[in-house]
Chains A and B, each alone.
Chain A
Amino acid sequence: MIPAVFEYYRPKDMAGVLSLLEEHGDDARVMAGGHSLIPLMKLRMADVPHLIDLQDVGGLSGIDIGSDSIRIGAMVTQSDIIDHAGLASAAPILREAALQIADPQVRYMGTVGGNVANGDPGNDMPGLMQCLNATFAVIGPDGERDIPAREFYEAAYMTAREDEEVLTAVTIPLPRGGYAYEKQKRKIGDYATAAAAVQIVRDGDTCASASIAMTNLSDTPIYSEEAGTALVGTSVDDAALKAAATAMLGDIDPTEDNRGPVAFKNHVAGVILRRAIERAWSRA
């Protein structure tokens, strides 16, 4: 559990970060809270000769709640999310999800940016951000660009971010309606056996819109557009719940691990999604 030799950098600004990335290319990685990257380095599963710590780079820790969107800096921690009163009312699903990530010690260190940028299928924030239709801002040698969360994830640890780019912020359209982040895990600190993020808008007795994403049930988070569509226009009755689950099951592709075999995961994914929708609908 001791990493290979690496150089450690702590640049004072983003220009310093970008120049180090340009200089070292593939051999460099940026680190936010370090709670995904450092364990991989200690297991010598990630070889990072040049480690760039972002904590002295200013301007990455803000939470700004605008009239139609929320901007969260990449260095905002899970703990910051949980403690932010404005967020709790503007986007309560963020707090509900963050409380289900790891444990308090990890949440003091783990950041939103690191969680979404690393591309670990076990992380909770990527699926959540897909549900919320977030946009990730990245900066690189050619300037800034925005990447929709729903187009960001390509495979486990593979994302649309280029090696020389740094994820700086997450922007979320102000969520509307009812919400739920439902997660089954074996114990505190575990990744999800199955987790579902649901945001749902009600119009009278019918569902006006619904957004659904699943965590740790494929090598990427899964935004299931069809699952959401299956609810729209319905009264979110048993038939609609079944249709949403069926659509979602068509989109996920879980693999067997110590949490259980594929059949179990598919079953639990359906149960968790149903519970998430029911809770979100009850809050809509």
Chain B
Amino acid sequence: MKDDVTSREERVENLKGMGCSRKRVEDARFTQGKGNYVDDVKLDGMLFGDFVRSPYAHARITSIDTAAALKVPGVLAVLTAADLEPLGLHWMPTLAGDKQMVLADGKVLFQGQEVAFVVAEDRYAAADGIEAVDVVYEELPVLVNPFEALNSDVVLREDLVAEDGSLPDGAHGPRKHHNHIFTWEAGDKAPTEEVIANADIVAEEEMYYHRTHPCPLETCGSVASMDKVNGKLTLWGTFQAPHAIRTIVSLISGLEEHNIRVISPDIGGGFGNKVGAYPGYVCSVVASIVTGKPVKWIEDRMDNLMTTAFARDYWMKGRISATKEGKITGLHCHVTADHGGFDACADPTKFPAGFMNICTGSYDIPTAFLEVDGVYTNKAPGGVSYRCSFRVTEAVYFIERMIEVLAIKLNMDAAELRRINFIRKDQFPYTAALGWEYDSGDYHTAWDKALKTVDYDGLRAEQAQRVEDFKAGKTRKLMGIGLSFFTEIVGAGPVKNCDILGLGMFDSCEIRIHPTGSAIARLGTISQGQGHATTFAQILASEIGLPADSITIEEGDTDTAPYGLGTYGSRSTPVAGAATAMAGRKIRAKAQMIAAYLLEVHDDDVTFDVDRFVVKGAPERFKTMKEIAFAAYNQAIPGLEPGLEAVSYYDPPNMTYPFGAYVCVMDIDVDTGVPEIRRFYALDDCGTRINPMIIEGQVHGGLTEALAVALGQEIAYDDMGNCKTGTLMDFFLPTAWEVPNYETDYTVTPSPHHPIGAKGVGESPHVGGVPCFSNAVQDAFRAFGNTHTNMPHDHWRIWKTANELGLHG
């Protein structure tokens, strides 16, 4: 008999496993200023490198004179493309199968492009050195509009035109024009055209999803340290995918991969900004090899906004057809995608437009066709998934706008139109017209719950009264009700169709149980604020029966962590979370054998119960996981190796499909264009909920970034390709002041193929939030004839809508 005074409930509580709002273990160091970010890395003799950047969006470089810069006190070296060329590093491969200049090779293609790398004793000397580099530019015609680019004689990428003037195929097939990158198709073209041609009702709309930018508090940076004695390179950096970076560095530098150690320390937000490989990383490595000293590169805010990783910039043209009763019959979408000067989009290799083909949304649309044309322009490269899975915000925005436009055409309530077209619960798993197999969902339940909670009918009645009052001159404020129902596709992904640079998008977890019953687990992902150290320990606690507080989660060091593809696209929980559960189950399987040996029964005669194995039918006979852990290290058990460790590499059988129902109520001052968000309700279904507090925090953060994008956040250029939004004065980053109170809610529809049924949540609120905010603005003007206006809905654009509808008298 054991002295077991704690009840089962207490034992569950002690574990702090899945489903509890465990406090974030990371916050102790973050709230006390003890985080360790890349810029906190300080090494003996460390140098600092920074870039001479192009003031022009398109120019030939006639000469670069570095002599004066080399005379600036503290400046040690100035690297140009000519210095990198012998190493083959003046260009580098992009994630999208294109290549990108590391330093300007004879020309520049966007404002802010890296031209030379000044290496100095400190960042102040580097800044003075930058001023002293004399670059002579010959300006070239600038193309900032993709439609103009496709009709222009101006060749942006001479390197992609053969000597005879012909166009070799790109990474994704034939190219139509010298500024064209690819055409990508999904679905069936002819049947879609036929359905639309014969439909009762067809709604058409053109919409521009403007260029914006993820804006993590910490900008990008790296520290490279080449140890010439042992031949090892250590690279600290703001990497959302440290292992992928190690492989890329190996491939482009020729260093053997075992001689490269990549470390992602604490990361101050990523949101997709830190997925790609940037010239700064390469230059810090080269400079360290050249000087033999550690070299640090850290972006400032302007560098970050102007040069690393934009998001969106999709010109979308849609047609949606329906019966008179509102049953959708077909959807056609064409996208002209502005990729900037290089195609550096961060998507799985086979998906040059990401998962844009999730654009049939949450609806049972039998026939659909999508076509995306990628285009070069004189803008910064990027094309990252800003707090979303690959291009999913674009897809969801597109369909949620098309639904609204169709509702207007049908003169139908947009909530009802959604309801009659949702994929029904009994249709899952559901194969969509554009190819994806949705794993699970219960859309009607979520939608009904959302509409009931906000008293949707009451809101519509109030809105109708407001319109009457406005027309009668009693108010100058209109009321908008924004609806959005989204389905995400996250957790990339199955190795059979998802890879990045040939690396399958599995992920991994390795667990070591220590003799005293605590543990360390290492994963191939890397938290940038998501709270992995908190939540992955919870998954493990529930799986292996040791308290989450006794489990250390470690990520980001490629010398210690198992290989994985990193954290972005809400893939950590769906993929690495699954690996964690599976590795935990391997631990548990061995623990069962140890327990059975210790209890002197057959393996099958013990059963797992919270934190122990119990003999079936004899609950007083058990061994706790803590006892089992010790036994693993001190007992010679016949047929079992000592120790208690496991590793799992998880190749997900499918994506996961979180969904949600959002409602925004907004009042709009017609005279100033100022919107005021009165209410925001967000119901998320992310399957099994690991930590409700962290989910709520993620939802708040994602909604805030959605508010930003919908209401003002953009990267804008003038006709000369000058970036007009290079500081936080003009680039909208909301503060607590601009952000409304959010009401969160949930339903739970577990993923049937994920070991714990979890789906991922970090990006859902952004994906669903953007159309919800936008729809609220547009809905306010529906009664006056508005069908669609483009984001961002900043004050003047809202004012312009009102003005064009004649609402200013």
Q: Interface residues, chain A, CB within 8 Å of chain B?
A: 1-2, 4-5, 44, 103, 184, 186-191, 193, 258-261, 264, 267-268, 271-272
Contact A264 B799 (CB under 8 A): yes
What are 13 pairs between A and B in contact, CB < 8 Å?
A: A1-B300, A1-B301, A2-B123, A5-B128, A103-B735, A186-B732, A186-B794, A187-B734, A189-B728, A259-B795, A264-B800, A267-B803, A268-B673
Q: Which of A189, A190, A260 contacts B796 (CB 8 A)?
A: A260
Q: Which residues of A contact B672 (CB under 8 A)?
A: 184, 268, 271-272
Q: A188-B738, A264-B799, A267-B671 are in contact. Are A258 and B124 (CB under 8 A)?
A: no
The residue on A at minimum CB distance from B299 is A1
Q: Which residues of B contact A2 (CB under 8 A)?
A: 123-124, 127
Residue of A nearest to B797 (CB): A260
Complex: A2 Cα to B732 Cα, angstroms = 23
CA distance A189 to B794 in the complex (A): 16
User: Are A184 and B127 in contact (CB-based, < 8 A)?
Assistant: no
Q: Are A188 and B737 neighbours in the complex by a CB distance under 8 Å? A: yes
Q: Are B716 and A184 in contact (CB under 8 A)?
A: no
- Also in contact, A259 and B729, with CB within 8 A (given A1-B301, A271-B671): no
A187 touches B127 (CB 8 A): no
Q: Could you say which residues of chain A place their CB within 8 Å of the CB of B737?
A: 187-188
Q: 1/0 contact trace for B789-809 toward A, CB 8 Å? A: 000001110011001000010
Q: Which residue on A lies nearest to B725, using beta carbons?
A: A258
Whole-angstrom distance between the alpha carbons of A200 and B808 in the complex? 28
Encoded as 1 (CB less than 8 Å from any A CB) or 0, chain B from 277 to 294 comes to: 000000000000000000
Give the top 9 A-B pairs by smallest Cβ distance, nearest first: A260-B796, A2-B127, A1-B300, A188-B737, A264-B796, A271-B671, A258-B730, A188-B735, A264-B799
Please indicate the chain B residues that have their CB under 8 angstroms from the CB of A1 in the complex: 300-302
Rounded to whole angstroms, the CA-CA distance of A57 and B171 in the bound complex is 66
Query: Does B724 touch A at the CB level, under 8 Å?
Result: yes
With a CB–CB cut-off of 8 A, which chain B residues contact A5?
Answer: 128
Given the known interface contacts A1-B300, A271-B671, the answer about A184 and B738 at a Cβ–Cβ threshold of 8 Å is no
**Inside 8 A of A258's CB, which chain B residues have their CB?**
716, 724-725, 730
Judged by a CB distance under 8 angstroms, whether B65 is at the interface is no
Q: Is the CB of B27 closer than 8 A to any CB of chain A?
A: no
Residues of A within 8 A of B724 (CB): 258
Query: Which chain A positions have C-beta within 8 A of B799?
Result: 260, 264, 267-268
Encode B737-761 as 1/0 by CB contact (under 8 A) with A: 1100000000000000000000000
Q: Encode B635-673 as 1/0 by CB contact (under 8 A) with A.
A: 000000000000000000000000000000000000111
Task: For the complex, count residues of B whose C-beta is within 8 A of A.
Answer: 31
* A259 to B724 alpha-carbon distance, docked (Å): 11
Interchain nearest-CB distance for B763 vs A (Å)? 24
Q: Give the chain B neighbours of A103 by CB distance below 8 A.
A: 735
Interfacial chain B residues near A271, Cβ < 8 Å = 671-672
A187 close to B732 (CB less than 8 A):
yes
Q: Which of B120-135 contact A (CB under 8 A)?
A: 123-124, 127-128, 131
Residue B454 at the chain A interface, CB threshold 8 Å: no
Least distance between A261 CB and chain B CB atoms (Å): 7
Please tell me if the beta carbons of B131 and A184 are within 8 angstroms of each other in the complex. no
Using CB atoms, name the residue of chain B closest to A259. B796
**Quick one: closest A residue to B800, CB to CB?**
A264
B712, B737, B795, most chain A CB atoms within 10 A: B795
Residue from the list A184, A187, A261 in contact with B735, Cβ < 8 A? A187
List of B residues within 8 angstroms of A187 by Cβ: 712, 732, 734-735, 737-738
Q: Which residues of the partner chain A approach B301 to less than 8 Å between Cβ atoms?
A: 1
A272–B803 Cα gap in the complex (Å)? 17
CB neighbours (8 Å) of A188 from chain B are 735, 737-738
Q: A191 contacts which chain B residues (CB < 8 A)?
A: 729
Which partner residue on chain B sits nearest A122 by CB separation?
B729
State the Cβ distance, A77 to closest chain B Cβ, in Å.
Answer: 20
Query: Is B674 among interface residues, defined by CB-CB distance under 8 A?
Result: yes
- Shortest distance between the CB of A57 and any CB in chain B (Å): 28
A44 CA / B300 CA spacing, docked (Å): 14
Q: Give, as a whole number of angstroms, the nearest-CB distance from B735 to chain A.
A: 5
Question: Bound complex: CA of A190 vs CA of B737, how far in Å?
Answer: 12
Bound together, the chains give a CA A273 to CA B305 distance in angstroms of 35
A186-B712 contact in complex given A259-B796, A260-B795, C-beta closer than 8 Å: yes
Chain B contacts for A184, CB-based, 8 A: 672, 674, 795
Least distance between B382 CB and chain A CB atoms (Å): 21
Q: What string of 1s and 0s marks CB contacts (under 8 Å) between B707-743 and chain A?
A: 0000010001000000011001110101101100000
Given contacts A4-B128, A4-B131, A187-B732, contact A261 B123 (CB under 8 A): no
How would residues 672 to 692 of chain B score, 1 for a CB under 8 Å from any chain A CB and 0 otherwise? 111000000000000000000
Q: Mark B129-159, 1 if CB is under 8 A from A, else 0.
A: 0010000000000000000000000000000
Q: Which residues of A contact B800 (CB under 8 A)?
A: 264
B671 proximity list for chain A (CB < 8 A)? 267-268, 271
Measured in the bound complex, the distance between the Cα atoms of B671 and A38 in whole Å is 36
A261 to B729, CA, bound (A): 17
* Partner pick for A193 among B716, B734, B735, B795, CB 8 A cutoff: B795
Q: Provide the residues of chain A in CB contact with B716, threshold 8 Å.
A: 258
> Counting chain A CB atoms within 10 Å of each CB, which of B123, B131, B300, B729 scores highest?
B729
CB distance from A177 to the nearest CB of B (A): 26
**Which residues from chain A contact B725 at a C-beta distance below 8 Å?**
258
- A264, B671: Cα distance in complex, Å: 10
Residues on A with C-beta less than 8 A from B732 are: 186-187
Residues of A within 8 A of B712 (CB): 186-187
Question: What CA separation (Å) do A50 and B135 show in the bound complex?
Answer: 29
Give 4 A-B pairs besides A2-B123, A4-B131 with Cβ atoms closer than 8 angstroms.
A103-B735, A187-B732, A187-B734, A264-B799
| Most chain A CB atoms below 10 A, which of B128, B734, B799 | B799
A267–B808 touching, CB < 8 Å? yes
Q: How far is the CA of A186 from the CA of B796 in the complex (A)?
A: 10
Q: How far is the CB of B632 from chain A (nearest CB, A)?
A: 54
Q: Which residue of A lies closest to B808 (CB)?
A: A267
CB distance from B313 to the nearest CB of A (A): 18
How far apart sit A133 and B786, CA to CA, in the bound complex (Å)?
Answer: 46
Q: Which residues of B contact A259 (CB under 8 A)?
A: 795-796
Quick one: which of B198-257 are within 8 Å of A by CB?
A: none
Name the residue of chain A whose CB is nearest to the CB of B733: A187
Q: How far is the CA of A258 from the CA of B796 in the complex (A)?
A: 9
CA of A103 to CA of B673, assembled, Å: 23
Within the assembled complex, what's the spacing in Å between the Cα atoms of A1 and B298?
12
Within 8 A of A (CB), among B559-585: none
Residue of A nearest to B796 (CB): A260
Determine whether the beta carbon of A261 is less than 8 Å from that of B734: no
Q: How far is the CB of A41 from chain B (nearest CB, A)?
A: 12
Q: Contacts A4-B128, A184-B674 hold; do A190 and B795 have CB atoms under 8 A apart?
A: no
A280 to chain B, nearest CB (A): 18
Report how far A261 CA is from B800 CA in the complex, Å: 10
A261 neighbours in B (Cβ, 8 Å): 796
User: How far apart are A191's CB and chain B's nearest CB, in angstroms?
Assistant: 8
Smallest beta-carbon distance B808→chain A, Å: 7
**B738 to A, closest residue via Cβ:** A187
List A contacts of B124 (CB < 8 A): 2
* B708 closest partner in A (C-beta): A187
Assembled-state Cα–Cα distance A1/B51 (Å) = 12
Residues on B with beta carbons closer than 8 Å to the beta carbon of A190: 729
Please give the distance in Å from B651's CB to the nearest CB on chain A. 44
